[in-house]
A and B are shown apart, each in its own frame.
Chain A
Amino acid sequence: MEPLAITWFVLIAVLWIGYLLLEGFDLGVGMRMLFASRDERERRVMLNTIGPVWDGNEVWLITAGAGTFAAFPEWYASLFSTLYVPLTLALVGLILRAVSIEWRGKVHTQRWRSAWTAGIGIGSLIAAFCVGAMLALTTLGLPIDGNGDRVGGPFVWFGWPAIVGGLAVVGFSLAHGSTFLALKADGSVRSRAAVFAERWSPACLVPAAIWAVWVQLEHGGNPLSWALVLLAVVGGAWGWVQARARREGLAFTGYAAFGLFGVAAIFAGVFPKVLPSTIDPAFDLTLMNASSSPYTLGVMTVITAVSLPIILGYQAWSYWVFRKRVTPGMIPDAHIVLPAILRDRDAARGVAPTA
């Protein structure tokens, strides 16, 4: 087996881990804005915990997609065309979320804010579910023929793997986002998020655990992948213990470990396949038949090996710069934008221009 193809299989897993761990809490915070905030100041505290970093986190998704294109064009082409509908929905969700975050605070009327709060929450929910479904399906299999094209209608992908995967990312994001808020916010947002993480996170993590075990059972598993499943479960359980003890940093670390080892277990379990066919194992897309040429993989490996540590460095620095908890007192007052026009009444009040 081509070592460079294995390298890229690992790198794609790393990019997805980066995405799910970082954007996971952004999506969780977004979803929590729908149901876990009582007033405008709370919503702004929540939003500003992810404010400086969410856009950088989203680039992990773009790079995972583009990296798949460069390293495994067959995988990129087959997976995304087969999952045309859920991917379209995921993109609409991500678009909605992005503009909602940026535009929400630009006008200060109740209707405006409520509409964009819904945009952040619903956009996050749709994106998390659809991305989860896509990842579950690429690990559990899709009905593809020998050319990698879908056999069956636009909704043939819909079934238990899609549901479990969708719920897995939604649940993980909620648990991870709650511990993130407990760690990064202060006041009522912090305490409510901590209570949520304590009460609900085991239930939130169950679908992801089911998915990880399902992949092992489906593909036979191997000692490494089972060990990773075990590490994920231990990490999640440890995180929960820390959440109950209200040690917010450790709880966040525990859930991050759950995500890291969980995704690693799933990729290790499906290895060396990248997209199994549910029609005929002969149609499986694997490291061998889906990868780019050794030259392309080599070039991309060198550039990634140099740039990824730098990216991790400056992203870590951005978290360091904004390491302070966001307190309700840090939120500036709403700024009402009025047209810069000298009205007649101003002139009547005798504030005419002074030359």
Chain B
Amino acid sequence: MEALDIARWQFGITTVYHFMLVPLTLGLGMAIAVMQSIWVRTGDEKFLRMVKFWGKLYLINFILGVATGLVQEFQFGMAWSEYSRFVGDVFGAPLALEGLLAFFAESTFLGIWIFGWGRLRKGLHLAALWCAVIGSWLSAYFIIVANSWMQHPVGVEMTAEGRPVMTDIWAVLTNNTAIAAFTHTIFGALIVAGMFLIGISWYHLWRRRHDGIDTTDASGRVIVGEVASVPGRDRTDHGVWLWSLRAGAVVAIVAFGGTALTGDWQGKLMYEQQPMKMASAEAACHTGSSFSVLSIGDPGTTDCRDVVTLIEIPGVLGFLGTGEWGADMPGITDLEPQYVNQYGETIPDDELYGSFAGTEVNYVPPMWVTYWGFRLMIGLGGITAFGALVALWLTRRGTVPSSPWIMRLAILGILAPFAGNIAGWIFTEIGRQPFVVAPNPDPSGIDGVFMFTAAAVSPGVTIGELLFSVITLTAVYAVLMVVEIFLLVKYVRGGVASAMPELAPRHDRGDDPGDRPDGERDDVLAFAY
């Protein structure tokens, strides 16, 4: 294995992992901010419980996102020093802005929110949460600005030494690729949050029926009950779950519409900016306008002769790419000579490229990854939206069906949008290969602003070091994911009372209250580590 391969695996593993945590933070954070706003406005106890319960799960997940985000900030320099040197003038800026304008607000105000229960006025406490959530959304924006510059370099010019320097920060910040990708990512995160709300609420509504607390009348309409022996299982509890479930379903459906619109926009930009990525996502070997429904071939192929298209729909691809039915879209066999012509047949024979110097470049990304990544993303999104619609229909009489199998399916459904998000990112990042900074062959591309991935890795770092870090980080991440899931399951099963000790009877709260004088008890923190 080359150092390059290990470095790429490391970036892939750490980034995909990080992005399993982030969408939940983005989506659920916004959901909780809305819930708390409703509570502050109406004083309805149900919404306070929702904030407390979902907030607890949010925080368990949030911290792992923060912790793994640290690696993201430093690994460009560690493993990709040549990349950092080449792009630093333009790429470092959005990262620094992310720290200054997003992370500080996110982390500081979240601390205020967590510990601020009962210490701040309600409105101020709510404002702290909004600042934290907006901070997290802004951080997503800035990092996507950085990523989009790698897909569609703008706002720079080349110096005499052959490096891009920034000439227009506004162009970098308003890069159309970034706006499309940011909105797409946010909608994707909202789908994650929606399905999370549905799956977990479903479990609790089902549990209430299973335990005989809620029953149904002859028409199937719910009769809400309560039971004193289980903390939190009162009548309000039913409203918490039903409202969460149905709101989650609406969010997921609307957000799916959002991903479709923004995804369509992204696709059109991609045809313009990175035609090879879109052609490979379609396994479109020849120029034409048919959309492939099923193509098969040798897995891992980058060669068109190995691809057989079994089912295709005429005209659709042209519509997706340009908005015009039947418009011809360039295929791989036509694009390849263009790329060779513009960017060379071989990687330059320069010591910078190490063992890759002078080797032949393959401009076609691994097609099975892009082809299936693209379809998995869309397919999982569609399944999710359909599931959310079904959830709305099934809960129309105020509770869920008593079937444990549908409940399990709803829980399983939580995973679908996570997988869809990951598939989308893997598609777009693998589809950029063999470039780390993709050239845009259309006239809007800036001459010379591109970089082969093979040239980006740190020349001074050894294979041993890379192996050490990839193994260490993967092992630590794996253990932490097990702990996170264990904690999430534990707190989910506890219901609202897991986040609101005040719902539990005194003797169930543990610890021995008798070991401190009553005089010291008047200012007990509402939350403490």
Interface residue ranges, A against B (CB under 8 Å): 44, 47-48, 51-56, 58-59, 61-63, 65-74, 76-82, 84-85, 87-88, 91-92, 94-96, 98-99, 101-108, 147-151, 153-154, 292-293, 295-296, 299-300, 303-304, 307-308, 311, 314-315, 318, 321-322, 324, 327-342, 346, 349, 351-355
Contact = CB atoms under 8 A, between A and B. Distances in A.
Contacts of B221: none
A58 B204 CA distance: 37
Nearest to A40: B511
Contact of A56 (B69, B88, B104, B116): B104
A51 B529 contact: yes
27 contacts: A52-B115, A56-B104, A59-B103, A62-B73, A76-B84, A80-B77, A81-B460, A91-B71, A91-B74, A95-B476, A98-B67, A149-B460, A154-B462, A307-B100, A314-B108, A318-B112, A329-B521, A329-B522, A332-B525, A334-B510, A335-B504, A339-B494, A340-B232, A340-B494, A342-B229, A342-B233, A354-B225
B509 interface: yes
B165 A96 contact: no
B101 to A, nearest CB: 6
A52 B84 CA distance: 34
A304 B71 CA distance: 23
Contacts of A44: 528-529
B211 interface: yes
Given A322-B115, A340-B493, A88 B63 contact: no
A80 B81 contact: yes
A353 B212 contact: yes
Given A81-B77, A99-B480, A327-B520, A355 B225 contact: yes
A81 to B, nearest CB: 4
Interface in B41-70: 59-60, 62-64, 66-70
B174 interface: no
B369 to A, nearest CB: 28
Nearest to A345: B229
B166 A66 contact: no
B448 interface: no
A233 B215 CA distance: 74
Contacts of B79: 81, 84
Interface stretch (B89-97, B184-192, B335-343, B356-364): B89-97
A95 B68 contact: yes
A226 to B, nearest CB: 32
A79 B77 contact: yes
B529 A333 contact: no
Q: Which 10 residue pairs are nearest across A and B when measured between Cβ atoms?
A: A73-B88, A329-B520, A80-B77, A70-B92, A340-B495, A63-B99, A149-B460, A69-B92, A56-B108, A342-B211
A292 B97 CA distance: 15
A337 B77 contact: no
A296 B165 contact: yes
A103 B81 contact: no
B229 A349 contact: yes
Nearest to B87: A73
Nearest to A45: B528
A92 B226 contact: no
Contact of A48 (B212, B465, B525): B525
Contact of B92 (A80, A98, A292): A292
Contacts of A63: 96, 99-100, 103-104
A295 B170 CA distance: 12
A48 B119 CA distance: 15
A84 B517 contact: no
A23 to B, nearest CB: 12
A235 to B, nearest CB: 27
B263 interface: no
Contact of A329 (B108, B167, B516): B516
A88 B230 contact: no
**Contact residues of B: prevailing secondary structure:** helix
Contacts of A315: 104, 108
Nearest to B66: A98
Interface in B12-68: 59-60, 62-64, 66-68
Q: Which of B77, B101, B120, B231 has the most CB of A within 10 A?
A: B77
Contacts of A66: 73, 92, 95-96, 98-99
B131 to A, nearest CB: 8
B63 A53 contact: no
Contacts of A92: 472-473, 476
Contacts of B66: 55, 98
Nearest to A304: B100
Q: Which of A67, A84, A98, A322 has the most CB of B within 10 A?
A: A84
Contacts, number: 334
Nearest to B501: A335
A87 B62 CA distance: 23
Interface stretch (B411-419, B432-440, B483-491): B483-491
A116 B231 CA distance: 28
B150 interface: no
Contacts of B88: 69-70, 72-74, 76-77, 292
Interface in B149-168: 159, 165-167
A217 B96 CA distance: 33
Given A91-B71, A315-B108, A149 B524 contact: no
A54 B212 CA distance: 45
Given A76-B88, A328-B520, 16 more contacts: A44-B528, A44-B529, A55-B108, A56-B107, A62-B73, A69-B92, A73-B84, A73-B89, A81-B79, A92-B473, A92-B476, A95-B480, A327-B523, A329-B516, A342-B230, A353-B225
B310 interface: no
A88 B517 contact: no
B443 interface: no
Given A293-B166, A330-B523, A340-B204, A58 B77 contact: no
A188 to B, nearest CB: 13
Given A66-B99, A333-B510, A52 B89 contact: no
Contacts of B59: 102
Nearest to B59: A102
Contact of B490 (A107, A303, A304): A107
Contact of A318 (B111, B228, B468): B111
Contact of B60 (A69, A94, A102, A329): A102
A355 B215 contact: yes
Contacts of A329: 516-517, 519-524
B114 interface: yes
B101 A334 contact: no
A58 B66 CA distance: 10
B282 interface: no
Given A91-B70, A300-B93, A336 B509 contact: yes
Contacts of B60: 102-103, 106
A55 B111 contact: yes
B409 interface: no
Contact of B223 (A299, A333, A355): A355
Contacts of A78: 81
Contacts of A322: 115, 119
A55 B110 contact: yes
Interface in B210-253: 211-213, 215, 223, 225-233
B136 interface: no
A53 B109 CA distance: 9
Given A105-B528, A335-B504, A73 B233 contact: no
A328 B517 CA distance: 10
B396 interface: no
Nearest to A351: B229
B96 A70 contact: yes
